[in-house]
Amino acid sequence: MKTLIVVAHPDLNRSRINRAWAERLTRLPDTTVHELYRTYPDRRIDVRREQALLDAHDRIVFQYPLYWYSTPPLLKQWFDEVLERGWAFGPGGEHLKGKEIGIAISTAGTADSYRPGGSNLFTIRDIARPVEALANYVGAHYLPPFAMHHARDATDEQLAESAAAYVRHLATARRVSAADLVASNG
C-alpha cells in the first residue's frame, strides 16, 4: 500500500502540529509527503503532475489545519483543478476508483468543542463531510478522520505523541463501511 500525504499548510515554518506530523511521516516507508504550498508558491498547480502522483499511490490523505471549518484555499483549488471530469469522474474518469481517501486535521478548538452541542456545534467528521462526499463521488473508500485539537497549546511531548498516533492511525485505519455511512447520516 503506497500512501500519498497531501499537506496543505500555508506556512509550515510557522506550523507546530502539521510540521511535526509531516516530519514524522517523511520517515515512513511507502509514504510520500507532498507539500502543496511549498511545491506551488505561485499557486499554479501542475495538474498532470498531481494526477500522476495520485495514480502512483493507493491511499491519499489530505492533511491540513482547519481554516474557518474548511480547507486552506490551495487545497480547495487543488480539488477544483486536479479532480477533472474524465479523469476523476464522468466518462473515463475512474482514476481514484477503489483507492482510499482520508484526512488529518489540526484545530485550535478543543476536542470538547467539536461535538454536537459544543461551542463548534459539530464533530470533525461532520465538518469534513465535503471530503467524505468527494471520496464517495469519485468511487474511493473513505477513512475515519484523524485530528489533533487545541494544537496551539500543545507541548513538544504532546506533538510527538500525536505524530505517533497519526502513524498508528495510518497503520490501522479501516474504510468507513456503507452501513456506517447510513447509520451516521441518520
Ligand X SMILES: Cc1cc2nc3c(=O)[nH]c(=O)nc-3n(C[C@H](O)[C@H](O)[C@H](O)COP(=O)(O)O)c2cc1C
Verify binding: residue 108, ligand X, rule CB under 6 A. yes
Question: Which range of residues in 53-61, 91-99, 102-110, 167-175 is near ligand X by CB under 6 A?
Answer: 102-110
Contacting residue, 4, 7, 8, 17, with ligand X by CB under 6 A: 17
Options 36, 138, 151, 170; binder of ligand X; rule CB under 6 A: 151
The distance of Cα 109 from the centroid of its chain, to the nearest Å, equals 18
Site for ligand X in 68-87 (CB under 6 A): 68-69
- Please report, to the nearest 10 degrees, the dihedral formed by the alpha carbons of residues 125, 84, 68, 163 taken in order: 60
Binding region for ligand X (CB under 6 A) out of 13-21, 52-60, 78-86, 170-178: 13-21
Does the footprint of ligand X cover residue 29 (CB under 6 A)? no
Q: Residue 4 contacts by C-beta under 8 Å, 6 or more apart in sequence?
A: 31, 32, 34, 53, 54, 56, 57, 59, 60, 61
| Exposed / middle / buried, residue 76 (Cβ in 10 Å: 0-12, 13-18, 19+) | middle
Taking a C-beta distance cutoff of 8 angstroms, is the pair 81, 125 a contact?
Answer: no
Figure out which of the listed residues 57, 107, 135, 141 binds ligand X, where binding follows CB under 6 A: 107
Residue 125 CB, shortest distance to ligand X, in Å, is 15
| Site for ligand X, rule CB under 6 A | 9, 15-18, 65-69, 106-109, 151-152
